Amino acid sequence: MVLGTEATKALWQSPGVEGKNTSNLKAWENREMAKEVYKQLCETTAKRGGMYPGVDISEFYELVEELFTPEEAAVYMAIPRGFNPASTIAENMGKSKEEVASILETMADKGLCNAGRMGETIFYGAPPFVPGIFEFQFMRGTSTERDKKLAKLIHAYKAAVNKTRGATKITFPPNRVIPVDRVVKAGNKIHTYDQVKSYIEKYDPLAVSTCFCRHEGKLIDENDDCGKPNEVCMQFGMGAQFVIDRKMGRKIDKEEAMEILKKTEEAGLVHATMNRQEIDFLCNCCSCHCMILKTALDQPKPGVALNSGFRPEWDTELCTACETCIDRCPANALTLSEEDVPEVHLDRCIGCGVCAMGCPSEAIGLVERLSVPVPPVDQKALREAMKASQAR
């Protein structure tokens, strides 16, 4: 099967692609063909979904022309769902395996596709913009002129898309919070998927990279610094191997992973990931920069859009009304009652445990919040749960 329209095929056959073209007419034809390829890329990224799918606005084209060469865009579009070897993608394009494999390798280094080795073969996947391509751009934590340009273009695209659709309407939550497990009260059921340490114990390798959301903010404005630690985004298993191979992060051992975890909990960051039991990354989010948390906090009921399945409970005898928990809560879910005891607004509470971690009197513990649905097992189950909730 050969995929791609006449424009993508013509682009590949064009002498201009190989740098041999000298005529103005040919140059003009190539520009027109490239435009057509980016137009098709918009349709493809719209179908591939994610938090920021392709939208036919000028900000999209300004961004993708910086991210992808026309040839890379054509290869991205030819990658079928899931992970595929270069030979399958090349066959889809009617091209040689060597030619397509070389472009795929460059794309993986640029964070335009995923790549993972099984035995001798490398398999490639085409992630959506978010989670995926946008994050990959800033995980290295570098600050080149291109990084700064990309940060502005990505920021402008996200802002323009947000404007076209208003606040994202979340039906079944695509993301979830993992609570600070050491503040869960004894006697409450805590599953392995509720504990970051269970993923740290289970997976090898582990990797850490720069928080792309805080780094994006800094690339746009060097004075933008909320003071939270930056090198705290974790990847597990295959996801970790990808960022290690492509130098987007560094390999860490289990001991360092536990230290990073502790540092994020003390800093009041929220553990957030995809809303499934099988995960390959963990964000440690602040409320001022991070996409997952900020999107949920924009909702009328953040506690429904993003949750851990736990809620805080107070021992009023121990509470000294110091208000530290109120200041630490990233969701503004706490107020002080007339009786001088914190009270929680569950529509806003995401069940992170940041309040409990900071209480000097150890007056707060997390307890189960039974109304929160159990995370689907894997990506397929999450997709089905989201589809079913949209149909309702």
Choosing from 323, 343, 378, 384, the residue that interacts with ligand SF4 (CB under 6 A) is: 323
Burial of residue 103, with CB atoms counted within 10 A of its CB: 0-12 exposed, 13-18 middle, 19 or more buried: buried
- As a whole number of Å, the CA-based R_g of the chain is 23
Q: Least separation, in Å, of the C-beta of 8 and ligand SF4? A: 47
From the list 59-67, 141-149, 274-282, 311-319, the region that binds ligand SF4 by CB under 6 A is 311-319
Q: Does 293 bind ligand SF4 (CB under 6 A)?
A: no
Q: Does 324 bind ligand SF4 (CB under 6 A)?
A: yes
Choosing from 349, 372, 382, 385, the residue that interacts with ligand SF4 (CB under 6 A) is: 349
Q: Does 333 bind ligand SF4 (CB under 6 A)?
A: yes
Choosing from 55, 85, 361, 383, the residue that interacts with ligand SF4 (CB under 6 A) is: 361
Choosing from 364, 382, 385, 386, the residue that interacts with ligand SF4 (CB under 6 A) is: 364
Q: Which is nearer to ligand SF4, 236 or 314 (CB)?
A: 314
The 3-class secondary structure across the chain, one letter per residue, is CCCCCHHHHHHHHCHHHHCCCCCHHHHHHHHHHHHHHHHHHHHHHHHHCCCCCCCCCHHHHHHHHHHCCHHHHHHHHHCCCCCEEHHHHHHHHCCCHHHHHHHHHHHHHHCCCEEEEECCEEEEECCCHHHHHHHHHHCCCCCCHHHHHHHHHHHHHHHHHHHHHCCCCCCCCCEEEECCHHHECCCCCCCHHHCHHHHHHHCCCEEEECCHHHHHHHHHCCCCCCCCCCCCEEEEHHHHHHHHHCCCCEEECHHHHHHHHHHHHHCCCEEEEECCCCCCEEEEECCCCCHHHHHHHCCCCHHHHCCCCEEEEECCCCCCCCCHHHHHCCCCCEEECCCCCEEECCCCCCCCCHHHHHCCCCCEEEEECCCCCCCCCCHHHHHHHHHHHHHC
Q: Does 260 bind ligand SF4 (CB under 6 A)?
A: no
Q: Least separation, in Å, of the C-beta of 368 and ligand SF4? A: 13
Q: Least separation, in Å, of the C-beta of 323 and ligand SF4? A: 5
Q: Least separation, in Å, of the C-beta of 333 and ligand SF4? A: 4
From the list 83-91, 148-156, 203-211, 326-334, the region that binds ligand SF4 by CB under 6 A is 326-334
From the list 58-66, 147-155, 220-228, 316-324, the region that binds ligand SF4 by CB under 6 A is 316-324
* Cβ burial 363-379 (10 Å sphere, 16+ → b, else e): bbbbebbeebeebbeee
Q: Does 34 bind ligand SF4 (CB under 6 A)?
A: no
Residues touching ligand SF4: how many (CB under 6 A)?
A: 26
Q: Does 350 bind ligand SF4 (CB under 6 A)?
A: yes
Choosing from 87, 164, 320, 389, the residue that interacts with ligand SF4 (CB under 6 A) is: 320
Q: Least separation, in Å, of the C-beta of 332 and ligand SF4? A: 8
Q: Does 111 bind ligand SF4 (CB under 6 A)?
A: no
Q: Does 371 bind ligand SF4 (CB under 6 A)?
A: no
Choosing from 16, 342, 365, 375, the residue that interacts with ligand SF4 (CB under 6 A) is: 342
Q: Does 288 bind ligand SF4 (CB under 6 A)?
A: no
Q: Does 239 bind ligand SF4 (CB under 6 A)?
A: no
Choosing from 115, 153, 331, 386, the residue that interacts with ligand SF4 (CB under 6 A) is: 331
Partnered with residue 274 across adjacent β-strands are 175
Choosing from 10, 55, 238, 322, the residue that interacts with ligand SF4 (CB under 6 A) is: 322
At residue 130's C-alpha, the angle toward residues 347 and 293, to 5°, is: 25
**Residues binding ligand SF4 (CB under 6 A):** 312, 314, 319-325, 329, 331, 333-334, 342, 344, 349-355, 359, 361, 363-364
